[in-house]
Amino acid sequence: GKGHAMMASRNLVKGDILLKVPKKLFFQEAEIDNLTQKERLIMSLLHERKNMETTLFKEWLALLPERYSTISSWSDEDIESLGTQLRIRQAKQLKKDLQRGYEQ
């Protein structure tokens, strides 16, 4: 699939700093006002997950999968395995629509 990843060049121990983000890259209040509803939901979920031990949503968040895939990351072979031409055609169109949405 597509995405971003990191790989450790040595064994890590608890407490190691994996990533530093400069303060100038933090969201400012004015920038948050410009986020879409979907982006606000993502930010809220990330915030609640960061505070997993104290959040009121702990039980609900624990039910969410750690990983998932969407049709946009499926290979042509994956789509072809759906069987019928109708399903394959629909899946290809959905993948195309999703990828177009990511590019916007």
| Structure confidence at residue 30 (pLDDT) | 63
Residue with tokens 């999703």: 98
Walking along the chain (104 residues) 10 residues at a time, the average pLDDT comes out as: 72 91 73 80 86 89 83 88 92 89 67
CA distance 103 to 70: 16
